[in-house]
Structure formats: structure tokens, C-alpha cells
Structure 1
Amino acid sequence: MTLLTDTPLAAENIRGFRAYTGKHLDELTARAGLTADERLAVRAVATVLPFRVNAYVVDQLIDWSAAPDDPIYRLVFPQPDMLPAADVAHLADLLARAAPPAELRAAATAVRLRLNPHPAGQLELNVPRLHGAPVPGVQHKYPETVLFFPKQGQTCHAYCTYCFRWAQFIGEPDLKFASGDIDALVAYLRAHPEVTSVLLTGGDPMIMGEPVLRRYLEPLLALEQLESIRIGTKSLAYWPQRFVTDPDADATLRLFEQVTAAGKTLAFMAHFSHPREMEPALVRTAVARIRATGAVIRTQAPLIRTVNDGPGVWAAMWRSQLALGMVPYYMFVERDTGPRDYFAVPLARAHEVFRDAYAGVSGLARTVRGPSMSATPGKVCVDGVTEIGGRKVFVLHFIQARDPDLVGRPFFAEYDERALWLDDLRPAFADRFPHQTL
């Protein structure tokens, strides 16, 4: 059994990288012009939801003259109304009177557990077994795809406030999902030849230094069944230096070349939430260097209220991605977890944003799919709203599903302008949805 030992995170040892955490919140939010009470409320939210940002995001991406309304500021800084007012008031009171740490932790934990920390059955439904034992750090939701959570990749260069994997970053062992056991992953894949694609995710695998990343990737190259290896990452937006000026940038790119030379498609799943994240010249250089290895960069992000909930933002983002040689891939619906009530956009509005943005780009950018819900039964796409027999309905289909027979089959739901998620919808013209059983 090969267990990767804990090593210092690459980002913590990079020249020029500086991380800001909760202890810096008061200073940073004062820069945004928040009052003392507002800053206390932000700190209260940060006892529940994780906060981490770095100097590149703070100095290069945030427009401080527009904060706290700036979209990048909202992307990384907690907001007082992300949690119920009563919870924020209680936590703020505990902070103000310097309550014992154990009391503060207990109050924060109680709030977290009400926020659905693991949506879509991430801990219960997706964890596979080999020879009767669970395989740690592995999720197998769809027949051909396995997700792997490398232990050293369970943080990020900065945290998005809407992240549906926020529970990975709060230091609660029972909510964390990861593994350093490479042999167990390889053994599971050998036992399941139907798996043709592995996604390394987290957190952010690109937080790892090249030597650790190599020890995860190289064993996969000997598996003939694998057609593609994917890396889910926000690093191009939050720390493009990883591929340009970091001490192991060149070694990392050589590793990418090794993957593609082995005949595997290396899909770099880049998370961009706003066009501004692609404006720095450093990002353009990083993209060009990654693409030169033979890797394909696909882009995705959720539709987030107050950050990117307008069609012009998405059209600009897709055009910029296309100009840089990236492939627009997904617009997601914000998942039913964490501060979802703060960020969520109703499905009807989500489709309007997608449709109008889609209409505003050329056919080359129309590789993008959405708005898509990564729900328990699979990825459900909202295709539109129409009238059938005098009834206004949503038209939907599964892009991906636990049951492959459901993929691509249209189905209908009663129109509801307030619906935010699949669970909010009622079937139309049937007693139940296709994925529902008796």
C-alpha cells in the first residue's frame, strides 16, 4: 500500500505567495469600508464558513474602490447575510465577549450541520467498496468516471464563498473526504474496467507540488483502460504563477507532457467565475504553457447571484476563454449546500441567463452546457420553458446519470418561478420523474 505522507503545501513555500486567513479579516474588511459592527458580522460568518485568500487575488483581482459590492470581493469574502440573522447575531455576541473557544466551536458546528455540508449523497451514496471494504477518497457516481480526492490537495490557493465543498476546509474530520492511498485507487480501477476517466479534485489538486502530484498521476498512466485524466482546479484564476514563475512550474508542465505522451487525454478543468479573472497577462501566459503540453483546458463555473448572474458576464467570459484556446464546458446551478440561499438563482432565471449568453456568442463557444444541476440522480440540464397542452413546463434532460438509460431522455416539470433545485420541482404529465422509483 502506497501512502503519500504529508508534505508542505506547495503554495506555502512559493516566493511571493501570501495567504490571508480569518485572523486577517478585520484588517481586510476595513479596507472595504465596513463599519466595526459589519466587520464583526463578517468574522461571525467566518467561524462557520471557511475563509482563505491570497495576495494575488487581493492585489490584482479585487477592485477595492467598488468593495464590498465588487464581484471578486464577493467571490472570496464572507458576507453578513450569508447565514440566518439570528445565527450571525449569536456568533457575533460570542466573539464580542471572547467566549471560550469550545463554546464558539460548538455554536459554529451547530450552524454548519444545518447547511447540508455534503449534498447529493457525497458521503453516503458515492463511496465504492473493494472486497467488501470502502475505498477511501474515491467516489464512483457514474459508471465510466471515478473521482479521487488526494489528501494533500484538500485546500485551495483561495476559497470561493459559494464552494459546495466548503466542508472539506473547516477542520471537521467527520466531514472531510480524502485519501493518500494510491494503491487502493489503482486496485479499484483494475477491478472496474468500465472506468475510463479519473478526476482528481478537492480542494484543488494544483495546490500540490510537482513531486506529490507526480506520485498521484504516474500510477494511472499504466492503466490501459483510462482514456482521460482530469484535474479540477481554480489555480489559473487564483494563482497562475503555479504554471509560470513558481519553482516547480516547468517540472509540472513536463509532467503534463508525460501524461499526454502516454496516450491519455489530460483535461484541465479550469474554474473561472468572472471575466476579470482572465484579464492579467500572467493568466494568458499560463494558459498558453498548459496548452503547449497537449492538455485541453475546459472551463466551468456555477451561476452565482451578485457575482456573475447576468448574460453579458457569461458571454464575455466564454468569448475570452475561446480567444485563449479554452473550451467552454459547463454553467452549473449553485448546489443546495452552504450559503445557497444567498447565492442561488431560480432555475427559470438561470435558463434565461444561459439562453441570452448562448445567443450572444459564436458557434465555437456553444460547446458549453447548462444550466446544469449536479443532483443526487445525476446532472440535470434545464433545456427551457415551454407550453404543452396549455401548461407551462420546464423541459429537462440528464446530461449524466447514475442510471445510464436516463441520459439524453427529455422529461418535464411543472413551471415554478421560485424553484432553485431539482427537489423543488414537481413532475408534469406523470406521477413521478424518470429517476424516481415506486
Structure 2
Amino acid sequence: MTSHRKTLRTAAELAEHGLVRPQDAAALDAVAARYAVAVTPAIAALIDRSDPDDPIARQFLPDPAELDTADEERPDPIGDDAMSPVEGVVHRYPDRVLLKLVHVCPVYCRFCFRRAMVGPGGRPTLSPKKIAAALDYVRGHREIFEVILTGGDPLILAPDKLAAVVQALGAIAHVKVVRVHTRVPVAVPEAITAALVEALKIPGKATYVVLHANHPRELTENARDACGRLIDAGIPMLSQSVLLRGVNDDDKTLAELMRSFVAARIKPYYLHHGDLAPGTGHLRTTLAEGQALMRRLRGRVSGLAQPTYVLDLPGGAGKVPVGPTHAVPVGGCEPGGPAHWEIEDLQGRTHTYPPGPEDADPAPEEDWDGRESES
């Protein structure tokens, strides 16, 4: 195994650096021919080569299972194209739009819901003419309050090009918020330079950066420092993660991930259920598994560390919260709602609300202290 300072993009390069077995390279070439591969030095350094089930490797190294496409999977699982009035713009919700400036990323996630669109062989970066058309669309729709820069990864752009778009958006009176979705602070932390940070600032407007990370090991010292440069400049950060089998689908890892975000001054925002992207079934959990995890997370970490568990409905209908229900209506109806509710507490016990005179306060369980067990 040799150290490297370049992004690894082929099975042969991955094998050369000890990330995959040489005898698997031919099979992995078939995966790389269909879905882009890129592993930066920062990500490669996180992979435990001695662990065949390493959670970082599962996110970034190609797997022959990706060549198996289930019947329900689709190239555009959340319906971006159906909601695109002009190239690069997705207008799914009334008050906000996506602006996809680029379709390349510093790293390519093996579960990416836009995997059929991104990569060197994917859709092209928006030309200046098409960026102008996208900005004209935003100017012409006064209901647009927020513009979300996504892609691809918008922070892969040079600071001057990024600044030009950000400032153009900031000059639109009805646009009050620009949000940027990125993996760059984790994948290429050194790219978060003073020039890039400055490019994101808009006088009189709000810029938010949403970091995509799925495992606590991704929040290295370098990644936290990169995020700190943004936050210290007055740019608040949120997180988004994807619930992934073998990566973060257990209580301990998910709790540690959310606490790690909060400790880095990043507010947990979304935990996405895996989308129906082609060749990703081996990484998806079930909704029931996700709800059970969220139910347990509620009792283990503070509200500050709670993400919203969401499903992006296939076809473009949008995100829907799919977290567990802790309140169930019971009994007859009255104006304004049911007469009573059954409420489940953090210990799984059920309470009637409002309580009746016969409902005694439950005694605390002797072994309950709100912490996860060591098992």
C-alpha cells in the first residue's frame, strides 16, 4: 500500500492503494463503468483496510451488488426532471428551488440518488447562458424565498465562479436565503479556504451550509476545522445524513453521529430514508427499522441532536416525515379532536392524556438513566 495525494477513480488505483483486492478489480471495473467512482485522500485515510465491513468503505468503494437493479428502483427516484421548468432548476415546493450548477462531486457515494446524472459521464456543468436562464427563472417567481445550491457538489466550483452565482442570487429582493448542500468539508477539507468562505457570504441575506456525513468517523479534526471556518465566519451549518445498512443503522453509531454534529456546532437536520436509486438495495433499510431506530434515539440524545427522519416520495411528491408516532387518539370524538390520547414515553410505557383520576403517576424504573446500554 502506498500513500497518495490524488483522487482514486479506477478499480486498479483502489487496488494499488490497498482499498480493494486485486482479484476483484475486473468485477469492480464493471461497476465503475456504470456509476462514477472517486475516493479522495481524506476519505481513503478513513477506511480501515483490515475491516471487510468498514462503514466508510461501504459508502465510497464500488460493490458488485450495485449492478443488481430492483424492479422498484429508478434512475430519477425523487422526480427531479418532472419538476424542472428550466435546465438546472427544480421547483418542487412553492417557496424554494434547487439550483444544480454542477453534476460532479469530489467523491461519489454508492447510494447517491442522482447517480444516473452525476460523474464525468453525467450531465454537463451549467453554461453561463444556462445559469443566466436559471437566475431569470428565480427573478420571475416572487414566491421563491430560498435557493438551494446542490448538484453535484457546488463547493467544487472555484470561489470566483461560486461568488458570482451567490451574489446574483443575493441581488434578487425576494430571495432571502441561500442554502448549500455539500460533502466538501469531509471529503476535501482543505478546499474550505478563506476565499471560498467569503464567496458564500451575502450582505443582508442568510447563507446556510448543509453538511452530508453518515458516520462519526467522517468528522475528523480536519473536517471539524473546515466547518469551523464557515461557522466562525457567520455561516450556520446543518447536517443531513442517509440511513444506511451497515453504516449507521444501529443505536450507538447513530447517536454518536448526531452528538458529533452538535459538538461541531452543526445542527442535525435530516436523516433520509434511502432513495430507490438503481443498485442501492443492499444499503437500504426498511422504514420499520428506521422508525425503531428513531424511537430509541429519542430516549438517548437531546432534542438538539434529533434529526427529522424523512422519505422523499418517488416521482416528485416531496419529502414526508416518517418518524415513529408516540401519540395515538383513542375513545370518542369531541369538537377539535379525540377525547383522549395514548402517549408512549421514552421507556416504552403508555400514558393516557389528559390523565383521569384513576391514572397514577408511573414509578420510575430503577435501571433507567436515559443512556444506551453497553450491549
TM-score of the aligned structures, taking structure 2 as reference length:
0.80
Q: CA deviation at 1:358?
A: 2.9
| Secondary structure at 2:116 match in 1 | helix
Structure 2 residue aligned with 1:148: 99
Q: Distance in 2 between matches of 1:145 and 1:17?
A: 38
CA change 1:26–1:114 in 2 (3 A) is farther
Letter aligned with residue 7 of structure 2:
A
Q: CA deviation at 1:308?
A: 1.3
Unaligned runs of 5+ in 2: 331-375
CA change 1:343–1:337 in 2 (3 A) is same
Spell out the pairing of 1:37-436 with structure 2 (5 A cutoff): 38-59=24-45, 61-66=46-51, 68-84=52-68, 116-123=74-81, 125-128=82-85, 135-150=86-101, 153-170=102-119, 178=126, 180=128, 181-243=130-192, 249-256=193-200, 258-259=201-202, 262-278=203-219, 280-366=220-306, 368-375=307-314, 376-384=316-324
- Conservation of the 8 A alpha-carbon contact between 1:373 and 1:380: yes
Q: CA deviation at 1:324?
A: 1.2
CA RMSD of aligned residues (A): 2.6
Letter aligned with residue 141 of structure 1:
R
Q: Distance in 1 between matches of 2:170 and 2:117?
A: 28
Q: Distance in 2 between matches of 1:361 and 1:192?
A: 41
Q: CA deviation at 1:115?
A: 5.1
CA change 1:221–1:41 in 2 (3 A) is same
Q: Distance in 1 between matches of 2:328 and 2:173?
A: 48
Number of residues of Structure 1 aligned to a counterpart in Structure 2: 325
| Secondary structure at 2:15 match in 1 | helix
CA change 1:268–1:221 in 2 (3 A) is same
1:175-225 deviations in whole A, cap 9, x for unaligned? Answer: 668554332122212211000000110110111111111121111111111
1:358-395 deviations in whole A, cap 9, x for unaligned? Answer: 321112223x21143354212112132689899xxxxx
1:44-103 deviations in whole A, cap 9, x for unaligned? Answer: 2222221111122112x111121x31110111001122323xxxxxxxxxxxxxxxxxxx
Q: Distance in 2 between matches of 1:385 and 1:255?
A: 42
| Secondary structure at 2:21 match in 1 | coil
| Secondary structure at 2:78 match in 1 | helix
CA change 1:177–1:118 in 2 (3 A) is farther
Percent of aligned positions with the same letter in both sequences? 29
Q: Distance in 1 between matches of 2:70 and 2:329?
A: 44
Structure 2 residue aligned with 1:395: none
Q: CA deviation at 1:114?
A: 9.2
CA change 1:380–1:352 in 2 (3 A) is same
- Conservation of the 8 A alpha-carbon contact between 2:105 and 2:119: no
Letter aligned with residue 199 of structure 2:
L
Which structure has more relative contact order (CA 8 Å, sep 6+)? It is 2
- Conservation of the 8 A alpha-carbon contact between 1:137 and 1:177: no
Q: CA deviation at 1:275?
A: 0.2
- Conservation of the 8 A alpha-carbon contact between 2:14 and 2:20: no
| Secondary structure at 1:220 match in 2 | helix
- Conservation of the 8 A alpha-carbon contact between 1:350 and 1:371: no
1:263-304 deviations in whole A, cap 9, x for unaligned? Answer: 2111101101110001x2212211211001211100001101
Structure 2 residue aligned with 1:423: none
Q: Distance in 2 between matches of 1:140 and 1:276?
A: 34
Unaligned runs of 5+ in 1: 1-15, 85-110, 129-134, 244-248, 391-438
- Conservation of the 8 A alpha-carbon contact between 2:36 and 2:120: no
Q: Distance in 2 between matches of 1:177 and 1:333?
A: 28
- Conservation of the 8 A alpha-carbon contact between 2:78 and 2:312: no
- Conservation of the 8 A alpha-carbon contact between 1:48 and 1:112: no
Q: Distance in 2 between matches of 1:226 and 1:40?
A: 49
| Secondary structure at 1:336 match in 2 | coil
Q: Which range moved further: 326-335 or 75-84?
A: 75-84
More helix by share: 1
Letter aligned with residue 309 of structure 2:
G
| Secondary structure at 1:225 match in 2 | coil
Q: CA deviation at 1:229?
A: 0.1
Structure 1 residue aligned with 2:6: 18
- Conservation of the 8 A alpha-carbon contact between 2:211 and 2:238: yes
Q: Distance in 2 between matches of 1:331 and 1:318?
A: 10
CA change 1:26–1:297 in 2 (3 A) is closer
Structure 2 residue aligned with 1:7: none
Q: CA deviation at 1:34?
A: 2.9
